[in-house]
Structure 1
């Protein structure tokens, strides 16, 4: 028979335990076993006043951030609503049924205030990495790097073309926070100093973001989120968010490698990356620090007209010259200079030339320099490092590295 109508019967007393209502296989139980935020209060002690009303517990805010990240809740307003309603979220955040959830404005106030001033989020990140190292999950021998485009919350309609953007007319004291931060980072290697190329549009609300069409579709404002991972277990050991230009990505890689060396004493045996990081200065920087570049060389010296490329010429380091397939010499200088300013500098791009009379009589001139009197070859400042990277690309270890690089693609 049909049972009675279900109606809520208010009771005078309740006996309720959140612990009993969170399944043992719940994701937050697995996370909670490894979360240790006991040091947050002492770390932030200098950033709180000794007078006034008691603040929201910073550990509660971080636990709510972890809930939002774990379950894809990007809105802080919605995150507060979900924590208020979900028993498992309340359990993870150490909230009882009668405890109030922090207002969404508290997150913005702390993120733009004491969390940013104290670099709390980086402190928590590096504490987690240090624990991974202690547990043997990170060896630091093989590191891989890559960048992902992160779309900025900026609209093209609220932007200025590069012709009309004038930073000298901006008073930093009266500018919004986003503009003040942009002006403060113009000289950093990962931002304005990374490239002389001016962006086509500059956003008013987020001027540090980059106008890009890297996805081969409609252009948008974005950042590049660079990850440096240890390939043993795919653990992220550092992260840097520069503008979405290749020079900034290369500069951020140097920053991350220096930082993991200083913070964790990690000095990799090799760095694994794609062609965007295979520029001559970057390869030279790695080789100088005894880091093997398992990176495809960024090289535009190839030809598509069927003539010989620079790779067809043999480099003779002992005599500082190239040898063409016909056995002829291409030299940079053919006499000694008494003035050192006119001789080889060892910096920049060097140009090596064959003798005109040799090339004119050569039977292979049609496949070497059909439109020139003599063959010329340029050599970059870091060509030795580029050659080291090419030699590494022929090894079995390089094949393994390219497979390991897929871990950073995740």
Structure 2
């Protein structure tokens, strides 16, 4: 017999919890098992006036709303609140019943402005510490990488930075004005000045962007550190400070760090040597800009001298930025058979600039030639650990583009995205261990699915079997 279902439903009567309507394998259910925000009220209490004004939104509700948005890829406040209006899983996750009115989307904006980026970084750091305590992350082997995030601006908002009228009137500055290499004609964004023009490839155009620097643990892909800068900041400028931050947070000495060739600078290798960190970074070969390349000169670190291909000594001279000049004697070069190839036009002696940490770079190049199979395998893991996180965050969690303007808002977005990913990692590990624990217990334990367990040694509450 052909059935028929009446669709009219004027009233809804329901006995039980909204949890009964949400599948056990839903991402919000998994994350709720490991999410503990009981400390948050005390953390933000100083930002609110006690006993004055209207009661604000529960801080835990606000953070759960934001995390739900990033976990589900709904990163814009208006769309998130529209979805929460009809999404039972989100309502259950934040503790709102079907009859309760949800906060206005503008409340989330005011909370971000009031709390600032540091409070959200604290939330992210809490997820890291829980993952370390749960032994989901170790912090001994880490992968470092950076990725550009397109700013939330249009091409029409870009303008060209010109010289001041006073400088234009100055005759001495006229030649400099004509030079396009001075940076005074660089495009800037008038709607988001914090975003800077950057690109991730020579064959790609410059775009207004921010840059996210992330440190990922090798064990389960937990994000140990995240920092956001303007797009102009070079990766090598921040890697050492981020490694120090990871070591301080995890309380573990970093043994090995991997990165791509964009980090292959002498100061990076020297900094890792000082910290006793083994650097698995492919050192770039020296570019050949002369018929007599620099690699044919032999540097003696003990005596701080440099020898040319014919064995003549070059002595250290004046210092320059990030290095020093080494010069030869004119008499040594006058009768040298390589002088025609080695010396520049008009010069009678050889002058080269050696970086401050040049010996560390030489050691890194020699080590690169002797990479073991384990080193190659570790560098391969770098691609799907570190670069994989950036791809995951951009594809599933809305990090492909900034959702608000300003460096502070971009940092908040990056912190919440990393916190959401860490909670996913922790929930996955929690579920695996939980299933193992239940499989080892007696049949009687299966009749009590709602019990308190110390699965990770950190009292986590099991919300469901």
Structures share a fold, TM > 0.5?
yes
Instruction: Give the drift of 1:362.
Output: 4.6
217, 220, 223: which one pairs with 1:236?
223
In the aligned structure 1, how far is the partner of 2:2 from the partner of 2:88?
31
| TM-score (normalizing by structure 2) | 0.70
Structure 1 unaligned regions, length at least 5: 167-195, 334-342
Secondary structure at the aligned position of 1:226 is classed as strand
Instruction: Give the drift of 1:16.
Output: 4.9
Q: Check conservation: 2:214, 2:227, Cα contact below 8 A.
A: yes
- Quickly say closer, same or farther: Cα 1:212–1:134, change in 2 above 3 A: same
Q: Check conservation: 2:144, 2:239, Cα contact below 8 A.
A: yes
In the aligned structure 2, how far is the partner of 1:319 from the partner of 1:279?
23
- Quickly say closer, same or farther: Cα 1:18–1:404, change in 2 above 3 A: same
Cα RMSD, aligned residues only: 3.1
Instruction: Give the drift of 1:361.
Output: 4.5
Instruction: Give the drift of 1:237.
Output: 0.7
1:270 aligns with 2:256: yes
Structure with more contact order per residue of length (Cα contacts < 8 Å, sep ≥ 6): 2
1:404 maps to what in 2?
381
- Quickly say closer, same or farther: Cα 1:13–1:386, change in 2 above 3 A: closer
1:349 aligns with 2:336: no
Secondary structure at the aligned position of 2:73 is classed as coil
* Paired residues, number: 366
In the aligned structure 2, how far is the partner of 1:385 from the partner of 1:265?
27
Secondary structure at the aligned position of 1:125 is classed as helix
In the aligned structure 1, how far is the partner of 2:150 from the partner of 2:321?
39
1:389 aligns with 2:364: yes
In the aligned structure 2, how far is the partner of 1:265 from the partner of 1:12?
53
- Quickly say closer, same or farther: Cα 1:12–1:201, change in 2 above 3 A: closer
1:46 aligns with 2:21: no
2:206 maps to what in 1?
219
Secondary structure at the aligned position of 1:332 is classed as strand
1:127 maps to what in 2?
126
In the aligned structure 2, how far is the partner of 1:139 from the partner of 1:148?
24
Instruction: Give the drift of 1:131.
Output: 0.9
In the aligned structure 2, how far is the partner of 1:12 from the partner of 1:41?
34
Q: Check conservation: 1:353, 1:376, Cα contact below 8 A.
A: yes
1:179 maps to what in 2?
none
- Quickly say closer, same or farther: Cα 1:246–1:392, change in 2 above 3 A: farther
Instruction: Give the drift of 1:5.
Output: 6.1
Q: Check conservation: 1:141, 1:267, Cα contact below 8 A.
A: yes
Counting only pairs closer than 5 Å after superposition, residues 98-113 of structure 1 correspond to structure 2 as: 98-113=99-114
- Quickly say closer, same or farther: Cα 1:199–1:225, change in 2 above 3 A: farther
* Deviation by residue 1:231-290 (Cα, 9 ceiling, x = unmatched): 22221111111011243x333323323323443334422332223222333333333333
In the aligned structure 2, how far is the partner of 1:255 from the partner of 1:287?
14
1:29 aligns with 2:29: yes
1:314 aligns with 2:289: no
In the aligned structure 1, how far is the partner of 2:185 from the partner of 2:31?
42
Secondary structure at the aligned position of 1:245 is classed as coil
2:153 maps to what in 1?
154
Structure 2 unaligned regions, length at least 5: 166-181, 389-465
- Quickly say closer, same or farther: Cα 1:388–1:139, change in 2 above 3 A: farther
2:67 maps to what in 1?
66
* Deviation by residue 1:189-233 (Cα, 9 ceiling, x = unmatched): xxxxxxx96682222321111022445434321100110122222
* Deviation by residue 1:327-372 (Cα, 9 ceiling, x = unmatched): x223216xxxxxxxxx776985333344555545455556655966
- Which is further off, 221-230 or 27-36? 27-36
Q: Check conservation: 1:202, 1:211, Cα contact below 8 A.
A: yes
Structure that is richer in helix per residue? 2
- Which is further off, 80-89 or 281-290? 281-290
Q: Check conservation: 1:143, 1:229, Cα contact below 8 A.
A: yes
| TM-score (normalizing by structure 1) | 0.78
- Quickly say closer, same or farther: Cα 1:95–1:163, change in 2 above 3 A: same
- Quickly say closer, same or farther: Cα 1:27–1:162, change in 2 above 3 A: same
345, 353, 365: which one pairs with 1:378?
353
1:173 maps to what in 2?
none
Secondary structure at the aligned position of 1:405 is classed as helix
Secondary structure at the aligned position of 2:102 is classed as coil
In the aligned structure 2, how far is the partner of 1:116 from the partner of 1:383?
41
In the aligned structure 2, how far is the partner of 1:232 from the partner of 1:161?
46
1:183 maps to what in 2?
none
Q: Check conservation: 1:212, 1:221, Cα contact below 8 A.
A: yes
